[in-house]
Amino acid sequence: MSHWIEGQTGLWEIVIGLEIHAQIISMAKLFSGAATFFGGAPNTQVALFDAAFPGMLPVVNAKCIEQAVRTGLGLNAHINKYSVFARKNYFYADLPAGYQISQHELPIVGPGLVAIDLSDGTSRTIRIERLHLEQDAGKSLHDRHPTRSFIDLNRAGVALMEIVSQPDMHSSEEAAAYVRKLRSILRYLGSCDGNMQEGSLRCDVNVSVRRPDEDFRTRCEIKNINSVRFVVQAIEYEAHRHVRVYESGGSIEQETRFFDSSSGKTLPMRSKEMVHDYRYFQDPDLVPLMLDETFIEDIRTNLPELPDQKKSRFMNIYGLPAYAAGILVEDRETAEYYETVAKGRDPKIVANWVMTSLFGALHRSGREISDSPISADHLGQLIDLIGDGTISSHIAKSVFESMLETGQEPSAIVTAKGLKQVTDSKVIERAIDEVMRQHADKVALYRGGQVRILGWFIGQVMKATDGKANPEKLSTLIKKKLAGSTLSSV
Amino acid sequence: MTALVDLSLADARTGLNRGDFTSVELTEAHLRAIERRRFLNAFITETPEIAIAQAKASDRRRRAGQVGTMEGLPIAIKDIFCTEGLLTTAASHILDGFRPPYEATVSARLRAAGAVTLGKTNMDEFAMGSSNMTSYYGNVLNPWQRHGAPEIKLVPGGSSGGSAAAVAARLCLAAVGTDTGGSIRQPSSFCGIVGLKPTYGRCSRWGLIAFASSLDQAGPMTRTIRDSALMLGAMSGYDSKDSTSAQVPVPDFEGALTGEIHGLKVGVPCEYRPDGLAPEVIALWDKGISWLKAAGAEPMEISLPHTQYALATYYIIAPAEASSNLARYDGVRYGLRKAGNSSLNEMYMQTRAAGFGQEVQRRVLIGTYVLSAGYYDAYYLKAQKVRTLIIRDFQQAFKTVDVILTPTTPTPAFAMGEQMDDPITMYLNDIFTVPISLAGLPGLSVPAGLSPEGLPLGLQIIGRPFEEQTVLKVGGVLETAACFTQRPSLAVAN
């Protein structure tokens, strides 16, 4: 996971650049009115244009343009008021027109910046080279028939943003942090759902290695990686492969590879003879895209608070450390959840509950915060019950578990299970007396100087009260009694 | 009374309005003419049943008081327009059996205006050609013949050769054509009819099978200027389905035909008089200049300095776009498929090798080449720059003049087999029409006289963008002065 690979001949630096394809959230495709829902029956969301019927023409979907501009602004990037759609020509069965409409020389978004946080507490800025709009291709289904392939055009023509970074990353951790951060920003903006499993977010990773202070060496592109974990594995494998090849006297050829998740290896995808000449040229069916200042400024004005801004606000107003704030803002729903609970409560205690108990529980059950069985209101109520002394923190843990299972509000669980904390001194004293009566030998030991066994006494009393005794009261009372001042009451 | 098939669109409209005859009678007369002149091969698909049904419906509408601008008028449609449920071929083998489930905007608008459609006319394959010899469905015969040489078969020009021959031979009152580099104007000149290529963006390209998207434009092919104006009005207008269609209002084109051209400045470009241009063409051009002068216009010599590069520029840009536009014909979703148990690439290669004719293959290859890495800058990019210079030539000229007058073609119709050996010679047919296409300007070919061999020759009027009204007005003056009343010898007899 480090910046450097120590080879047999010395140190090598890893150099990584990413191209991320993010599917735009929109009702219709980039140039046709066909629907874009995921998971539709094959070929049910296909307009005549998507299937490249003769004479059919593209009409740009304004919503997709808006989403691209919103994303560009979210990436602190330059918005190009004049951009051009170009055709990228190649033959493939899932590309009906024989060309993909993309942007080549004049993309809609120019250079931008993304800040990433690393586990050692440092931050880095990764430069974005550009963001351009393009059509997605259809899907080739190779597993439905022994000798034939099937084509599903539902995805053909769906709007994609290709976000290209500079080769600014130097470890798989940085690349992973970049993908997570980008995904986080896209989700905040509502321009892409970031779902890597469904393919709404796909990564092409460019990897090379070099000696310290050397120029870039030949890179290899690993296409279509669909999880952050695989991005990490692919980079690790590929960088080490380069080092092995160089150190054994070989050379790396520029090529396109794919990541085989079962073996954890990258393998060549196309041979060199199959390198495409895409013959880009401006699409004559479309006019250049011209954006006016008002359009851009309207979008800028309505941008939501983005992760970086939210993080610094969390640090400032809630007094959270950078690490905790970073984790809480990664996901917009989580941040909203946190803020709902934190309203009028101790922000650090809330952060602790959310980040340890809640995240742990969600992780175990494989759920997202959006379908958490414990609502923000309920978690807040639970924290209040501790605060007003109704239950102890200890009991709260078991109430939390019940809330997870039942989704009930905490006070109902406390009442139903009789978990209300015992604060009545007389009740606690009776329990202490009973324990001391049964363990007179231990009382003697304590009084003989073995004060270390205080904890044991507390434990016994807690057990006797089903954990409901107020810990502070119990501690004060038991110390007094063991000291012998109230023996008279026995 | 004039035979029904000899009427102009406008006169037929009057006759229908007066109740002199019905649309069914008018349509039947044309269907009979089509049958009698089937040897011209002007149609790929005849649709007599549809035409009669449409004519009956039109007569019913008329009785109910609903009369569109093209109500009941029988026309033909170039087979490059997608027509719903009806075989649409672009004269190519590769579109075998293709019946689009949609109707092109232009033909839909004509039908909505009440027009009756007789069938789909023959053309050069994918509109690539100037002779109609590249059609998979066979060549079209020009209804004109050289004096004393009926045995010599002449081409109607191309690519809208079937439309031009059909209009000239009285098989339809008018026809829709498309023009990419001269495909309406050159066959109109060869067949002695009026052909208008409107400003790029005037007519929607939606549903029009693309050859070169930045150049393709639909237009009317008629026997009179008034008919051209009438039909253009019914065809044109903004279409939100075509991003390159212009958001300009559709004016009253017919109303512009006032004949009043006093003080109008007519540019005569010196570059359109190359060495070796046929003397009869020069003579006719000079006649045209004097006719306009006599009507009060002011002819003046102008220069369009980049004219000599237009043809080369066109034959880079048009094939480049075509190579990409024609990539969709792959045998996967419609049309011809040639494949045994072969791989995907083999299927592509076999289908496209069998489905495309020689000229189409040549242009796909040229287009692929000029866009290829290492050649793009020298060819495609340079051609785009020259195109800009050609546009500027015209912009400069139109600061001084209102219209430009040139010959439409350097020669009258040639015989089948002539000019076939060398594609470059064939491409020279478009030398006077291509610059106008590159500049996206309106260009009108008006039949103005006969060559010594008795073949029609056209003059071209070029206007500013979206000034079809001026172009048509000047065309009307030329039409009156030229008094071109000759009929082709193979036209249906009176």
Chain B residues whose beta carbon lies within 8 Å of the beta carbon of residue A58: 243
Q: What angle do CA A197, A201, A203 make, to 5 degrees?
A: 105
Cβ distance of B100 and A54 shorter than 8 Å: yes
> Cβ(B169)–Cβ(B42) under 8 Å?
yes
* Same domain, yes or no: A338 and A444: no
Q: Average of pLDDT values for A70-89?
A: 98
Q: What are phi and psi of B401, to 5 degrees?
A: -110, 160
Point out the domain boundary residue: A395, A417, A439. Answer: A417
Same domain (yes/no): A15, A81: yes
B82, B206, B213: residue with CB nearest A284: B213
Same domain, A152 and A280: yes
Beta strands in A103-190 (DSSP E): 112-117, 123-135, 139-141, 150-152, 159-165
* Residue where one domain finishes, among candidates A401, A417, A433: A417
The domain spanning residue A455 has which CATH number?
A: 1.10.10.410
* Model confidence, pTM: 0.90
Q: How far apart are the first and last CA of chain A?
A: 65
Residues A348 and A485 in one domain: no
Segment 255-284 of chain A within 8 Å of chain B by CB: 277, 279-281, 284
Are A330 and A391 contained in the same domain? yes
Confidence bin at B441 (pLDDT 50/70/90): very high
Do B244 and A287 count as a contact with CB atoms less than 8 A apart? yes
Residue A439 has pLDDT above 70, yes or no: yes
Residues in chain A: 490
* Residues B324, A98: C-beta atoms closer than 8 Å: yes
Peptide bond into B343 cis (omega under 30): no
Q: Which residues of A touch B324 (CB under 8 A)?
A: 87, 89, 98-99, 279, 281
* Of B84, B87, B126, B135, the residue nearest B335 (C-alpha): B87
* C-alpha pair distances (Å), B246 with each of A30, B46, B203: 21, 33, 8
B293/A contact by beta carbon, under 8 A: no
Domain end position, chosen among A240, A275, A298:
A298
Question: In B260-306, where does DSSP find H-type helix?
Answer: 279-294
Is A342 found in the same domain as A273? Answer: no
For residue A423, how far is the Cα from the chain centroid?
44
User: What pLDDT shows up at residue A449?
Assistant: 84
* CA A12 from centre of chain: 30
List the domains of chain B with CATH numbers: 4-263+413-482 (3.90.1300.10)
**CB neighbour burial string for B142-159, b if at least 16 within 10 angstroms, e if fewer:** bbbbbeeeeeeebbbbbb
Label the pairing between strands A201-210 and A159-165: unpaired
Residue A276 has pLDDT above 50, yes or no: yes
Count Cα atoms within 13 angstroms, Cβ side, for A234. Answer: 31
The verdict on B348 touching A (C-beta cutoff 8 Å) is: yes
Copy the structure tokens of residue B349. 């290669």
Confidence at residue B427, expressed as pLDDT on a 0 to 100 scale: 79
Residue B118's pLDDT is 98
Does residue A487 have a pLDDT over 60?
no
Backbone angles phi, psi at B254, to 5 degrees: -65, -35
pLDDT category at A162 given cuts 50, 70, 90 is very high
Number of domains in chain A: 3
Whole-number average pLDDT of chain B = 96
The catalytic residue positions of B are 78, 159, 183
Closest alpha carbon to A278 in B368, B126, B95: B368
Q: What is residue B273's three-state secondary structure?
A: coil
Q: Are both A333 and A235 inside the same structural domain?
A: no
First to last CA, chain B: 10
Q: How far is CA B472 from CA B233, B466, B484, in A?
A: 12, 11, 16
Does residue A408 carry a pLDDT above 70?
A: yes
**Who among A96, A279, A284 is closest to B371 (CB)?**
A279
- Cβ-defined contact of B210 to A54 (cutoff 8 Å): yes
A328 and A283: one domain?
no
Asked if residue A436 and residue A319 are part of one domain, the reply reads: no
Tally of CB atoms within 10 A around B294: 10
Strand extents, DSSP E, A136-255: 139-141, 150-152, 159-165, 201-210, 220-225
User: At residue B206, does pLDDT exceed 80?
Assistant: yes
Inform me whether the C-beta atom of residue B213 falls under 8 Å from chain A C-beta atoms.
yes
B52 exposed, middle or buried (CB, 10 Å; 0-12, 13-18, 19+)? Answer: middle
Gyration radius of chain A over CA positions = 30
Helix, strand, or coil (residue A225): strand
DSSP, res B126: G
CB contact under 8 A, A48 and B328: no
Residue of B95, B243, B330 lying closest to A59 (CB–CB): B243
Summarize pLDDT for B132-184 with one digit per residue, the tens.
999 999 999 999 999 999 999 999 999 999 999 999 999 999 999 999 999 99
Residue A400 is part of which domain span? 305-417
Query: Both A161 and A262 in a single domain?
Result: yes
> pLDDT per residue over A238-260, tens digit each?
999 999 999 999 999 999 999 99
Query: Exposed, middle or buried: residue A34 (CB in 10 Å: 0-12, 13-18, 19+)?
Result: buried
Q: Which of residues 444-463 of B touch A (CB under 8 A)?
A: none
Residues of B in contact with A60 (CB under 8 A): 243
On the CB side of B399, CA atoms within 13 Å amount to: 7
The answer, for A58 touching chain B at a CB cutoff of 8 Å, is: yes
Please report the sign of the dihedral spanned by the C-alpha atoms of residue A443, residue A448, residue A452, residue A454: positive
ipTM, 2 decimals?
0.96
The pLDDT tens digits for A99-138 are 999 999 999 999 999 999 888 888 899 999 999 999 999 9
Per-residue model confidence (pLDDT) at position A274: 60
**Of the listed ranges A19-23, B4-8, B379-383, B421-425, the one predicted with least confidence:** B421-425
Position A440 scores a pLDDT of 86
Kindly report the number of other CB atoms within 10 A of residue A275's CB atom. Answer: 11
Residue A294's contacts (CB-CB under 8 Å, 6 or more residues apart) are none
* Cα radius of gyration (chain B): 21
- Is the same domain home to A118 and A204? yes
- The verdict on A165 and A49 lying in the same domain is yes
Per-residue confidence (pLDDT) for residue A2, from 0 to 100: 65
A490 has a pLDDT exceeding 90: no
Residue A220 amino acid letter: C
Q: Specify whether the CB–CB gap between A176 and A12 falls below 8 A.
A: no
Separation in Å, CA of A282 to nearest CA in chain B = 10
